[in-house]
């Protein structure tokens, strides 16, 4: 996993391996705390970003032995902008009941101010936006 931090931007290249999700979450948590983000917002962002990263690994690289998901987080004033980008192709899970799937999108939409998912033949980009609580 590579980690580039400069100013108020964090970029992490995350291998398509579910075991890398927890270290990525902890790296993001530390970065958010260093930026002075309120604990409530930190937890909310971690929930949504965790869902997006897990979905990218599960769906984007389901039939590939390797892949990289890029997490990019930028703080612009009181607005946190997040992109989770994979270069795979999301495919429905064979034989699974669709009613038991898809809660990640609902969670992201409910806890963030904006949540969009754009799929192209080159991959999928999840864009999340959170307006942060004012600092105390």
pLDDT band at 99 (very low <50, low <70, confident <90, very high): very low
What count of Cα atoms within 13 Å lies in the side-chain half-sphere of residue 50? 17
What pLDDT is attached to residue 97? 46
> CATH code for 2-131?
3.30.565.10
CB atoms within 10 A of CB 63: 9
Which pLDDT does position 27 carry in this prediction? 97
Give residue-wise pLDDT tens across range 21-76: 999 999 999 999 999 999 999 999 999 999 999 988 887 776 666 789 999 999 99
pTM of the full predicted structure?
0.83
Task: Name the most confidently modeled range: 4-8, 34-38, 131-135.
Answer: 34-38
HSE of 34, CA atoms in CB hemisphere, 13 A: 13
**Chain mean pLDDT for the chain:** 85
pLDDT at 133 > cutoff 60: yes
The percent of residues above 70 in pLDDT, for the chain, comes to 80
């Amino acid at each position: 996993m590579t980690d580039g931090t400069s100013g108020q931007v964090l970029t992490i290249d995350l291998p398509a391996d579910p075991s890398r999700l927890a270290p990525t979450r902890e790296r993001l948590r530390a970065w958010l705390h260093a930026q002075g983000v309120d604990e409530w917002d930190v937890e909310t962002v971690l929930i949504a970003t965790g869902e997006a990263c897990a979905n990218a690994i599960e769906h984007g690289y389901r039939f590939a032995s390797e892949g990289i998901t890029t997490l990019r987080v930028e703080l612009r004033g009181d607005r946190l902008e997040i992109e989770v980008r994979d270069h795979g192709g999301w495919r429905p899970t064979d034989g699974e009941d669709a009613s038991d799937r898809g809660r990640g999108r609902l969670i992201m939409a409910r806890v963030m101010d904006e949540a969009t998912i754009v799929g192209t033949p080159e991959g999928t980009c999840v864009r999340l936006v959170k307006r942060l609580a004012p600092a105390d």
